[in-house]
Every structure is written in structure tokens, then in C-alpha cells.
A and B are shown apart, each in its own frame.
Chain A
Amino acid sequence: MEGHLNLTLKIWRQKNTQTAGKFETYQVSGISTDMSFLEMIDVLNNRLIEEGDDPVAFDHDCREGICGMCSMYINGRPHGPNRGVTTCQLHMRSFKDGETITVEPWRASAFPVIKDLVVNRSAFDRIIAAGGFISVNTGNAQDANNLPINKDNADDAFAAAACIGCGACVAACKNASAMLFTSAKISQLALLPQGQIEAATRAQAMVAQMDEEGFGACSNTGACEAECPKGISIENIARMNREYFSATFSSK
């Protein structure tokens, strides 16, 4: 049933990467419980624009939970209180009337704040790029049944490929570690025959790039898995460890 909420928002405002940020407090009233969290910020921003103030900058794109853009650390958790959702899929019915909501950007040295709640996640792109290519034949795609794949492996590869690169794993991790992301990207190829040829070099290059970008190490707390909107399993991190160490000891 629809209701209306009056809320106090404590939102991180930061002009740019160079300047230090601080929290600003805003009151919003008459917020529909059917709104998404982003729509609630839209309402606030409309008002800020009307009042001649600078609207809150935040990343968003698809607003249907599949693009991974809406990075917001809400009340101490990436994407807010619900599991398995991004911020756009978080609805205001998850909050109580009169509640104070603290909204922060992802905080990691590898994810510098561009403005307010927008962070630069290009470090993820560079980790993927470091993985390089896979060797496949050119020309028409061959018949799918020419390349038998074990069903379990196909399922696991698909589950790993569900990663949308939102960065919630980094945001949730006490060490700002990107292990869950990197391991998902390594796994989706390591599990399939197409990815075997470069598997060893890929694991080594992607881990090296991950460290280079300034992400932390893994404490195996499992926070990333719990907060991942796509339910990526930390089994992938164990697989990355296997891939990396076997590559370390077997490569020339």
C-alpha cells in the first residue's frame, strides 16, 4: 500500500577529486513508498535546481538493475539494506517515516570520487583489459554443439558472467579489495574451453593489474558475496587463487 515518508538525508557532497568533501543534510517530505531510491534523489534534485543549488551528482543508467551504475553506500551498506539489488531497485518502502539516511560514495583509493556520489571505476576496465584476448577462429560462428561443455561448468561460468562491475564488492570489503570482481572475470573464461589457451597468462596479468590499481587483499570475510547484487559466489575467489598459483608454478 502506498504511503508517504518524511526523511532526513545526509548526503556526501564533494566538488571534485581534488577537494575534500563533507556531509550536507537535506529534508525531503511526501516521498512515495513506491519510489525507487534514485527517484527520491531525483525529487530532491528537482528542488535543489529550482532553488538554484547544485544538484547531487550520482551515477545511474538503466534503472532496472542490470547496468551497475548506481553506486551509493546507504546507511553503511552498498546499495542499501536489501540483498541482491542495486540502488535503482531499492524502494522507499524499505525505509521508515522520519528516518535519517546517510548516503556516501564508494570509498576506495582505487575508486576516486569524481563528484558527490560519482566515483571513477575505470580501474575495473583496466583489469578486464589486462586479461587480454581469447583465441577463436574467425569466420562464421561454428555450430554450438561442436564444442561440448560440461553443464556444471557452463552454469558456473554463466553465474560468474552475471557480474555487472558495479563495485559493491569493493565498497563492502573492509580492505577495498576487488577480488570478487576480478575472480568473476577470470572464472567466466577459465571455466570454458574457449578461455583455456590464455588461462594462465590471463590470471597472472589480471591479478597484477588488480594490485597495480591499489585494491586491497582478501580477508575472506564474505562481505562482498553478501552485498553483491548479482549473487557472485566467493567460490570464484578460490578459483582465482587456484588459477593464479597454478600459473605461478607452471608458467615458464
Chain B
Amino acid sequence: MAWLTKSFNSSLGKKLLMAITGLFLISFLIVHCGLNATIFLNDGGVAFNEGAEFMGTNPVIRTMEIVLFAGLLLHIVDGLRLWLDNKKKRPVAYAVVDGSANSKWYSRSMGLLGTLLLLFLIIHLKHFWYFSRLTNDLTEAHTLYNEMQIVFASPIVVIIYVLGCISLGYHLLHGFQSAFQSLGWNHPKYSPTIKCIGAIYAVVISATFASMPIAFYFHLIH
């Protein structure tokens, strides 16, 4: 197995791991976003609570939850390793850098955006994952939907969530197409489509997530 660890420890291998875990997290976000979007059915959270109940009790989903945390952890640790490695490669910094002339700011700021996302995620997990999985507060009378109503009554929380979603949007805008490039999937026939889907995905996912705390705060859903 030495060949495998050697390859995954190479500069290309670390990027491959980033891409695989990144695409896995991207697939998770579709499920997460789709399920949460049921709150917009405006049925008082009936469909949402049914979905949440299923996700919280189904053994396959619960197993995937462990895989999800493992994937997230790998993505974070690998990203941190890349960041630490890369910053050593230019010991004397340039005095003048005109970065915008040759690349997008968010493509150069994936580490920063990822760190912001991690901070947001800690807050987010405390709000909902901790509540539903590690406490006994989740009852018929106090559903996850009720908890969302309570949490998103705070304007500060809503602002943090919207900022978190903006970070997510930019992270995905680069990350989606970047993952395919790292996997070696760059082709004149498919790459424009991948970039287009990536942009739509980033905007739709982040905008849908951001609209949830806003909708609760302004009582747009009941």
C-alpha cells in the first residue's frame, strides 16, 4: 500500500483527495438543500419534519452521516496540509501582486473561504445537529422546524448564516469546476458545460440556503 500513500502524499494526490471529498460534500449539499427547501411548501414544517425524522432514524442515512463527517474531516485536514505546504513555496513575498489581472479572487482564496465555512459550520452544527442528535430536546411538540423558527428569530444569527452562505457560494463557484480539473476531466466538449453547471449549482445552493433564515426571520413562511 506504500504506493497509494506515496501517491496521495504527492502534490497531485493531495489535490485528488480534495476533489473526491469535495465532490462528495457537493453531493451531500444537494440532499441537504433539497430536504430543507420543503419548508417553502408552507405547510408548517410537516414535510420537513417527516424528512428530518427519516434522516435521523434510517440506519443507512445514519451510517452515511459518519461517512459524511469522515469526508468533511479529510477535506479539512487535506486542505490544511495543502495550505501549509503551499505557503512555504514562496518565502520572500512579492511587493506588488496584480492578482486580478490573471485569476478570480475566490479561486485564490479557497483556504480563507474554507476557514470561514468551518467557523460557520461549527455554529451551524451547534444549532441543529447538536440539538437533534445529542440532546433529548427534540420532541413531537418541539420539532426541528420549531427550532429553526427559534434560532432564526435572532438577526445576528440570520446575518451569520447569510455570510456563511455567501462564503459557500464562492467556495463552490471555484471548487466545483476545480474538482473536475484535479480529477483530470478537462475536455473542450465537456468543460464549458461543467463550468456552467458549477456556476448554476453554486448560486442555486447558496441562494436557497440563504433564503431559509431570511424567510423565517421575516415570517415569510409559517
Contact = CB atoms under 8 A, between A and B. Distances in A.
Interface of A: 10, 21, 23, 73, 75-77, 81, 102, 104, 107-110, 172, 174-177, 179, 207-208, 210-211, 214-223, 226-227, 234-235, 237-242, 244-245, 248, 251
B94 A73 contact: yes
B140 interface: no
Given A217-B14, A245-B12, A76 B94 contact: yes
A238 B16 CA distance: 11
Closest 6 CB pairs of A and B: A76-B98, A238-B186, A242-B184, A226-B102, A241-B184, A216-B89
A180 to B, nearest CB: 12
A179 B86 CA distance: 13
B89 A177 contact: yes
Contacts of B11: 177, 179, 207, 210-211, 215-218
Nearest to B188: A235
Nearest to A171: B94
B16 A76 contact: no
Contacts, number: 135
Contact of B10 (A108, A211, A216, A239): A211
Contacts of B101: 76-77, 81, 226
A226 B103 contact: yes
Contacts of A215: 11, 89
Contact of A219 (B13, B88, B94, B107): B107
- The main secondary structure of chain A at its interface with chain B is mixed
B107 A108 contact: no
A208 to B, nearest CB: 7
A111 to B, nearest CB: 10
A214 B93 CA distance: 16
The CB with the most chain B CB atoms within 10 A, among A75, A221, A239, is that of A221
A240 B183 CA distance: 10
B215 interface: no
Contacts of B184: 238-242, 245
Interface string B113-155: 0000000000000000000000000000000000000000000
A73 to B, nearest CB: 6
A6 B96 CA distance: 21
Given A10-B95, A237-B181, A245-B12, 13 more contacts: A76-B98, A77-B102, A102-B96, A104-B94, A108-B90, A172-B102, A207-B11, A207-B12, A217-B14, A218-B15, A223-B99, A235-B186, A238-B184
